[in-house]
Copies of this chain bind each other. A is one copy, B any other.
Amino acid sequence: MSDTPNILEANGARLWQSIMRSGEIGPGRSSGLCRLALTDSDKEMRDLFVRWCEQADLRVTVDRVGNIFARRPGRDENLAPVLIGSHLDTQAAGGKYDGILGVLAGLEVMRVLNERGIETRRSIEVVNWTNEEGARFAPPMAASAAFAGGLDLDTVLNLKDDDGAVFGAELERIGYAGEAAVGGREIDSYFELHIEQGPLLEAEGIDLGIVTGGYQTVGMNIDIHGTCAHSGPTPMDKRRNALVGAALLIVAANEIGWRHHPDEGKSTAPRFTCWPNKTGILPDYAQVSIDFRSPSGEITARMLSEFEAAIPDCARRGNVDIEIVQRWTFGSEVFDPNCIDTVKATADALAVPYREILSQAGHDAYNMAKICPTALLFSPCREGITHNEAEHIELDYTLPSVNVLLNAAVTRANR
């Protein structure tokens, strides 16, 4: 074996075949996927991924929140490993590439190293993080957060989906409640390749985005409390309809998003529950999720404070009680200058044009950036359409970023 490879090349056809095979597991309603975390289709995909890893002679371990690590030992097993990965779960109406590309590109790195007989100094591991999407169990990125110490084990294992199913029990059910400790070990570095989920790279004809930071995001779950009463006789001034209070909040958040649209500000209300939510009765409870994002921490903070100022007015107009019950932030994480330099140098060596870019979505890389040098790479996706079954990429504009990932990770593993 040699540890001084020249430039390595991924096998695009092989990678694409793996992605297409993944694209058959957990079909959505049209052309995409509905492969929610810890469902039967997630299990089917995990089983296939583990089989592929074992066929590549990788050592597979699963931790207690179901994260799968497949290790290709380096020359010095005592050195901290380089991790490459992303997630295999999807949204309820998701595409075939979001997350999946990053995991299977990591596997392709291993396959290339195997067939070239290349030994690296450090071990390399490809990782599939559990429940990145948060589509089934909120919050998103829960298992990488646990790995990075941002969420404790019990919190994650006790998350419930909308039907009351429990994360830990579902993990047992599908056979991925592993025995490995969650995190707590030294990681040399983490590399994640992901589709951009925005339109910039495609529009500019650039095949690689090197993420230098994230959109500053603040999110919250808000409880709205009213009073059950009859839809008929109750006069307007006696009504305390939680659904009306929630609607007022959603409209207020939407207006704030538009107000900051010129500065790329965005507001989102993706999720809503209501009880009893039946004809004939005013609901006494609702919960809505709302978040605000912008490229600037200052603008995001301004959106948040405008929204907080609007809450009392919504409560008054809806005659309800409103309480923020959970808050989260992401996007202020810092990616590692050394890793970014390695990626840039690799791109230059491969003559792959790149641009620096901000991430507008959350990624497992945000959690990893808190505990180890991390780089996040973007490849183009058509029209920036994502979290939609129409999500689409082409191999020809994806392969350059895979080759940068491959060579940058190997460079790092030989450091």
The interface of chain A, by Cβ under 8 A from chain B, is 91-94, 133-136, 138-140, 162, 196-199, 215, 217, 227-237, 239, 241, 243-244, 246-248, 250-251, 254, 257-258, 261, 264-284, 289, 291, 293, 318, 359-362, 384-389
Please tell me if the beta carbons of B281 and A93 are within 8 angstroms of each other in the complex.
Answer: yes
Q: Choose among B231, B251, B265, B289 the residue that contacts A270 (Cβ–Cβ < 8 A).
A: B231
Please tell me if the beta carbons of B229 and A388 are within 8 angstroms of each other in the complex.
Answer: yes
Q: How far is the CA of A251 from the CA of B243 in the complex (A)?
A: 10
Please tell me if the beta carbons of A232 and B281 are within 8 angstroms of each other in the complex.
Answer: no
Known: A228-B389, A244-B254, A264-B235. A272 touches B269 (CB 8 A): no
CB distance from A66 to the nearest CB of B (A): 19
Please tell me if the beta carbons of B283 and A277 are within 8 angstroms of each other in the complex.
Answer: no
Known: A236-B257, A236-B261. A91 touches B386 (CB 8 A): no
Please tell me if the beta carbons of B388 and A279 are within 8 angstroms of each other in the complex.
Answer: no
Oligomeric state, in number of copies? 2
> Which residues on B sit within 8 Å (CB–CB) of A360?
230, 232-233
Please tell me if the beta carbons of B251 and A247 are within 8 angstroms of each other in the complex.
Answer: yes
Chain B residue at minimal CB-CB distance from A198: B233
Q: How far is the CA of A257 from the CA of B198 in the complex (A)?
A: 41
Q: How far is the CA of A281 from the CA of B281 in the complex (A)?
A: 29
A-B residue pairs, 4 tightest by C-beta: A232-B361, A92-B276, A247-B250, A198-B233
Chain B residue at minimal CB-CB distance from A139: B279
> Which residues on B sit within 8 Å (CB–CB) of A389?
228
> Which residues on B sit within 8 Å (CB–CB) of A251?
244, 247-248, 251
Please tell me if the beta carbons of B280 and A134 are within 8 angstroms of each other in the complex.
Answer: yes
